[in-house]
Amino acid sequence: MNSRRPDPEAVRTGDLLPPLRVPITRTLIVAGAIASRDYQDVHHDAEAAKEKGSPDIFMNILTTNGLVGRYLTDYFGPDAVLRKVAIRLGAPNYPGDEMVLTGEVTDVAGEAADGSGTAVTVAVRGRNGIGHHVTGAATVLVGDSGRRSREDGDRRSRDGDSSRDSGPSRDGDSSRDGGPFRNGGAA
């Protein structure tokens, strides 16, 4: 992916993010499932997946969510903070395929009301050999104030303030504000 970061002041509606090509390997699928504590056999046992009607193991939504987060933070830089990620899965990601993530800026809201950064909304798509694997949108805080927002969240965590969401719910819903990327990291 392009190592050149956009100037937060220069981000405009209609800007296209460079594509990110992600090889879909068995290791990626299984490691993502384990890392997200998703022990469903369809994500690691090819025979069980076939018994359930799938041609092979397939990627889970939390791994996809992590890849979307990585795509955005790779582009906007280490100070970017993912505020909302809302995605929907389509065609499964199977081993041996490749997913190509693309994005388009759909809104630039300017400085967030709480001073935590410039809010940028990006429509994201991930296509594989079958069709669209993921579609959705994410809101990212960018700029120096985005870094301050992340540092404030880190300080609250250290100080024991549990009022902020710390990740996905048990059912894997990461579309809530913050999701698994509240501190800007990606899987």
Q: How many domains does the chain have?
A: 1
Tell me if 84 is assigned to some domain.
Answer: yes
Range of the domain at 52: 10-181
Q: Say which CATH number the domain at 120 has.
A: 3.10.129.10
pLDDT above 60 (res 182): no
Tell me if 39 is assigned to some domain.
Answer: yes
Output the 3-class SS for 72-110.
Answer: HHHHHCCCCEEEEEEEEECCCCCCCCEEEEEEEEEEEEE
Picking from 35-44, 82-91, 154-163, which range would have the lowest pLDDT averaged per residue? 154-163
Tell me if 66 is assigned to some domain.
Answer: yes
- Cα separation, 47 vs 89, whole angstroms: 23
Structure-block tokens of residue 77: 């830089």
- Cα separation, 77 vs 70, whole angstroms: 10
pLDDT above 50 (res 185): no
Question: The whole model's pTM is what?
Answer: 0.75
- Cα separation, 129 vs 94, whole angstroms: 9
The answer to whether the beta carbons of residues 170 and 101 sit under 8 Å apart is: no
- C-alpha to C-alpha distances, 83 to 6, 39, 120, 183, nearest whole angstrom: 18, 27, 10, 9
| pLDDT at residue 179, rounded to an integer | 42
- pLDDT band for 164, please (50, 70, 90 cuts): very low
| pLDDT at residue 110, rounded to an integer | 72
